[in-house]
Amino acid sequence: MKKADGAIRIRWYDTHGEQFHTKMVICKKADGTSYFMLGSANLTRRNIENFNLELNILLQTTEESAAFNEAVDYFETAWNNAPGRNETVMYEHYHDDSLLRKYIYRIQEFAGLSSY
């Protein structure tokens, strides 16, 4: 967040002991081509480099496709807390500057031991 200088916005899923399990990336290109990736693999070194064999799928489509629009609707429902659904909170709510946690995370990610 510090390096992004406001160019990136982050919201946390507001869990109460459970893990939020959706993994999804949505990309809209200027030429109208769109991509979305979803599945069970976390976006960590452990999953991306096949240390933990899970599966994601990457779909190339257009912004007009029903599948793409359903993915965007799902994301926006959580991001914007649709009426009756308080799913996400602002970055500052769970922000943690702990150096110990930062170093533990870096070591786990480098070693491929992370579970998130």
pLDDT tens-digit readout, 26-78 = 999 998 899 999 888 877 777 777 666 677 889 999 888 999 999 999 889 98
Decide if 2 is inside a domain: no
Domain that holds residue 24: 11-111
pTM of the complete model beyond 0.95? no
Indicate whether 90 belongs to any domain: yes
Q: Which percentage of the chain shows pLDDT scores above 90?
A: 22
Has residue 3 been placed in a domain? no
**Number of domains forming the structure of the chain:** 1
pLDDT for the residue 20:
77
Confidence band for 100, pLDDT divided at 50, 70 and 90: very high
Quote the CA–CA distance of 113 and 46 in Å, as a whole number: 6
Select from 71, 50, 75, 51 the least CA-distant residue to 62.
Answer: 71
Q: Does residue 116 fall inside a structural domain?
A: no
Looking at the DSSP bridge assignments, the partners of residue 11 are 90
* Average pLDDT of the chain, as a whole number: 85
